[in-house]
Amino acid sequence: MVAVMDEPLTTSEASRIAGVSEGTVRNWMKAGRLRHQTTPLGRLVDPIALADVIAAREREQRERVKRRQIGKGESQRSQTAASPPREAAPTVAIGGDRRQTA
């Protein structure tokens, strides 16, 4: 969870908080994902909007991991279903005792 600040953040501060490069923050601004204001000294990022973008990224990452785990489970099931059934090991009588050889 990110502590939300009241004051606008510089691109550098926003990138440090989000754990991404400044270029990524600029890309988010260009794409309209991150609210900001342009000043004579540069762009200032809305800290609440940054918290929203970070939360959305974390949700997307969790969903990606979940889909990978589901995909792995399905591929393992399909491999199991596709393999031919194993034949039973032949039984051998030893001294009147019937045992399976493996």
Find out whether 102 and 91 touch, Cβ atoms under 8 Å: no
What digits encode the pLDDT tens for the residues 12-69?
A: 999 999 999 999 999 999 999 999 999 998 999 999 999 999 999 999 999 999 888 8
Residues across the chain: 102
Among residues 54, 61, 56, which one has the least CA distance to residue 14?
Answer: 54
The model's pTM is 0.60
- Which pLDDT does position 70 carry in this prediction? 82
Domain parsing of the chain, residue ranges = 9-84
CATH of the domain spanning 9-84:
1.10.1660
Q: What angle do CA 17, 21, 26 make, to 5 degrees?
A: 95
73 has a pLDDT exceeding 60 = yes
The arithmetic mean of pLDDT across residues 65-75, rounded, is 78
What's the rounded Cα separation, in Å, for the pair 77 and 71? 10
- The residue ranking higher by pLDDT, 25 or 94, is 25
Integer-rounded Cα Rg, in Å, for the chain is 29
